[in-house]
Amino acid sequence: MNRDAIGIFDSGIGGLTVAAEIARRLPAEDIIYLGDTARLPYGTKSAATVTRYAERAMELLLRYPVKAVVVACNTATAHALPTLRELTDMPVLGVVEPGARAAAEATRTGRIGITGTEATIRSEAYHRAILARLPDAQLTAMAWPLLVPLAEEGWLDHPVTRLTAETYLGPMVAAGVDTLVLGCTHYPVFKTLIASVLRERFGREDVVLVDSAEAVTTELAALIEDQDLAAPERAGRRSFFCTDAPERFIRVGSTFLPGGDLGSATAIDL
């Protein structure tokens, strides 16, 4: 048994999709969440810059009583996970491996689409992780950068977002993917919209949308059980930090959470 919190970070509110899933599946666990809103987006930055930002975010979380850290950002996972693991002895989970595993398990034809920020796609981290499991997989990768600001704007079902999704999905449909990795933690908020565009615009109802939030939570739950780290039965506390504009973080972030209220967030300088 362990009363310390699960530390989670992302460049902004995207990682709240992971925090929400963790809170749903592991309700007794305390969560400390950091959104590095001052530096968002990470996805357009170089590997060196992303690594530096991720190290700062991680160091901040390590100042609090945490027992495991979830890097709820594909960009930071793709570029900085080994470096982040060197900063601590505690378990540090990334979102790429669990997402890749879920995609490899879900595909029927081996045709898998990979989406993410420019930096994540450029890293080819998903390519390596999927091909390690399915060497014959046919991968179609594409950066979907515009979905990050659209999510941060809270435009979850807006005509502009729909048109953007149509444009981005076209090449994936043309490649005949049966599984699509939503390789950025901002994207799962558009799951319903993406499924409806696939159905209504492209007549595809059979594409599996892989969400790293579900996959990494399954891994975290197993780790907590194996290492006997579970919190005692109680309602877990949630603490939110961001590095800039907390009012905006609360307003938009709340729309990411089922139940719709994030409560308060503390601005903190890294």
Please name which of 46, 54, 173 lies closest in space to residue 118, comparing C-alpha atoms.
46
Binding ligand DGL (rule: CB under 6 A), the pick from 37, 51, 75, 179 is 75
Q: Which stretch, 34-42, 100-108, 227-235, 236-244, contacts ligand DGL (CB under 6 A)?
A: 34-42
d(CA 182, CA 184): 6
With beta carbons less than 8 A apart as the criterion, state whether 76 and 50 touch.
Answer: yes
Q: One of 95, 147, 184, 224 is an active-site residue; which one?
A: 184
Nearer to ligand DGL, 11 or 164 (CB): 11
Nearer to ligand DGL, 117 or 217 (CB): 117
d(CA 93, CA 218): 11
Nearer to ligand DGL, 138 or 254 (CB): 254
> Using the rule CB under 6 A, is 43 a contact of ligand DGL?
yes
What b/e readout covers 146-165, taking b as 16+ CB neighbours within 10 angstroms? ebbebbbebbbeeeebbebb
We find the least distance from the C-beta atom of residue 34 to ligand DGL, in angstroms, to be: 13
Q: 242 catalytic, yes or no?
A: no
**82 preceded by a cis bond (ω within 30 of 0):** no
d(CA 43, CA 76): 9
With beta carbons less than 8 A apart as the criterion, state whether 207 and 178 touch.
Answer: yes
Binding ligand DGL (rule: CB under 6 A), the pick from 5, 11, 111, 139 is 11
> Using the rule CB under 6 A, is 120 a contact of ligand DGL?
yes
Residues from 152 through 191 that contact ligand DGL (CB under 6 A): 184-186
Binding ligand DGL (rule: CB under 6 A), the pick from 37, 51, 74, 123 is 74
Q: 184 catalytic, yes or no?
A: yes
- The contact set with ligand DGL (CB under 6 A) reads 10-12, 14, 40-43, 73-75, 117, 120, 148, 184-186
- Return the active site residues: 73, 184
